[in-house]
């Protein structure tokens, strides 16, 4: 009787950050979606993680042009907080991830069973590239987290889309963020739009953005560019680097006679708790407007 020894591959890096932060950045979906790609033309639009023995995880990895994608997932075997965890991938391969405090920060090490379809060196390079991307993210001061909210509204996508974006009703549901919230500009693709508070409109203070995508009744993607202070657009410098390049996306999915509204946005860690509290309130208000 003979057995086949599986080839194991190890990749590692040292992250200059406290071990508690490194653990959170590596395991929380709102962070995973920002660093889990081996090259700039790929991204992770969705991630779920039940970090406990027997818990499942999955990350949806896709090419940004939509040409291909796959789910990367598995089931956790062992979990020791701030130390290590192991899991079995959906294809049966074993992976162990460890975190160890060393000189210069925290050593993150991943050891995994190689698959048979691709050369070992190619697999190692791919996993190492993702880990290097994680290091860059974890050490960056301009760190964004990805937040997701959704709500089922008893109305058509066309009506939810109209109600969400038309100025009179927009100003109603966005009061959950700031009384008197409004926008200046257009929702047309490529156009600039300013998100300000009504009371500050005269002084023109707010967020400078552009409409990256707008497929009526289906999808809207807003890219934030900087801030507006006393009518002056500030698009460069330390005060805007936390927001520059952040996206806010609205997706309108038809569910029979209803609409599932999905909101995905990049937030600075400073505003994470604020948005987590405010967005559900805003969506509840939008739902009431759409259904009345």
pLDDT attached to residue 270: 76
- 20 pLDDT band, cuts 50/70/90, is very high
To the nearest whole number, what is the mean pLDDT of the chain? Answer: 91
The pair phi, psi for residue 26, each rounded to 5°, is -85, -25
**Mean pLDDT in residue range 5-19:** 94
**Mean pLDDT in residue range 78-103:** 97
**Mean pLDDT in residue range 134-154:** 89
| Cβ proximity of 219 and 213 under 8 Å | yes
Fold classification of 144-291 is Alpha-D-Glucose-1,6-Bisphosphate; Chain A, domain 4 (3.30.530)
Looking at domain 8-139, its CATH superfamily turns out to be START domain (3.30.530.20)
pLDDT attached to residue 65: 84
Report which of residues 264 and 203 the model is more confident about. 264
Per-residue model confidence as pLDDT tens digits over 265-285: 998 877 888 999 999 999 999
| Cβ proximity of 17 and 106 under 8 Å | yes
**Mean pLDDT in residue range 241-252:** 86
- 1 pLDDT band, cuts 50/70/90, is very low
**Strand 258-268 to strand 247-255: parallel, antiparallel, or no bridges (unpaired)?**
antiparallel
Gap between the Cα atoms of 241 and 103, Å rounded: 30
Instruction: Specify the pTM.
Output: 0.66
Q: Answer yes or no: is pLDDT of 3 > 60.
A: no
Q: Answer yes or no: is pLDDT of 201 > 60.
A: no
Percent of the chain with pLDDT over 90: 74
pLDDT attached to residue 233: 86
Residue 209 tokens, joined: 């953005």
Q: Answer yes or no: is pLDDT of 98 > 80.
A: yes
pLDDT attached to residue 112: 97
**Mean pLDDT in residue range 30-48:** 91
Q: In sequence order, what are the residues at sequence separation of 6 or more whose Cβ sits closer than 8 angstroms to the Cβ of residue 5?
A: none
Report which of residues 278 and 198 the model is more confident about. 278
Gap between the Cα atoms of 109 and 96, Å rounded: 8
**Mean pLDDT in residue range 247-273:** 92
- 198 pLDDT band, cuts 50/70/90, is low
As beta bridge partners, residue 182 has: 196
| Residue-wise burial string across 112-125, b where 16 or more C-beta atoms lie within 10 A, e elsewhere | bbbeeeeeeeebee
Q: Answer yes or no: is pLDDT of 143 > 90.
A: no
Q: Classify residue 172 by its DSSP letter.
A: H
Gap between the Cα atoms of 278 and 283, Å rounded: 9
Q: Answer yes or no: is pLDDT of 54 > 70.
A: yes
- 138 pLDDT band, cuts 50/70/90, is very high
Domain boundaries, the chain: 8-139, 144-291
pLDDT attached to residue 200: 47
Does 8-139 match 144-291 in CATH topology? yes
């Amino acid at each position: 009787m003979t057995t086949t020894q599986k080839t194991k591959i190890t990749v590692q890096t040292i992250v200059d950050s406290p071990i508690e932060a490194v653990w959170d950045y590596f395991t929380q979906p709102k962070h995973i979606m920002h660093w889990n790609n081996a090259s700039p033309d790929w991204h992770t639009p969705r991630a779920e993680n039940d970090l406990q023995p027997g818990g499942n995880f999955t990350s949806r990895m896709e090419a940004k042009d939509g040409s291909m994608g796959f789910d990367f997932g598995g089931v956790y075997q062992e979990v020791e907080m701030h130390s290590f965890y192991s899991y079995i991938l959906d294809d049966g391969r074993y992976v162990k991830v460890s975190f160890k405090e060393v000189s210069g920060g925290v050593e993150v090490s991943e050891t995994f069973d190689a698959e048979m379809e691709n050369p070992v060196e190619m697999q190692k390079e791919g996993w190492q590239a993702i880990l290097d991307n994680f290091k860059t993210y974890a050490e960056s001061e301009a760190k964004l987290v990805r937040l997701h909210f959704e709500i089922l509204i008893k109305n058509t996508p066309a009506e939810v889309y109209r109600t969400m974006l038309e100025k009179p009703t927009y100003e109603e549901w966005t009061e959950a963020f700031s009384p008197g919230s409004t926008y200046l500009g257009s929702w047309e693709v490529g156009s600039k739009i300013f998100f300000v508070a009504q009371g500050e409109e005269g002084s023109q203070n707010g967020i400078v953005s552009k409409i990256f995508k707008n497929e009526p009744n289906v999808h809207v993607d807003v890219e934030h560019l900087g801030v507006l202070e006393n009518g002056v657009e500030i698009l460069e410098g330390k005060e805007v680097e936390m927001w520059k390049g952040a996206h806010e996306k609205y997706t309108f999915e038809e569910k029979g006679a209803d609409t599932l509204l999905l909101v995905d946005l990049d937030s600075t860690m400073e505003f994470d708790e604020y948005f987590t509290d405010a967005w559900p309130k805003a969506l509840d208000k939008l739902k009431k407007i759409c259904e009345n």
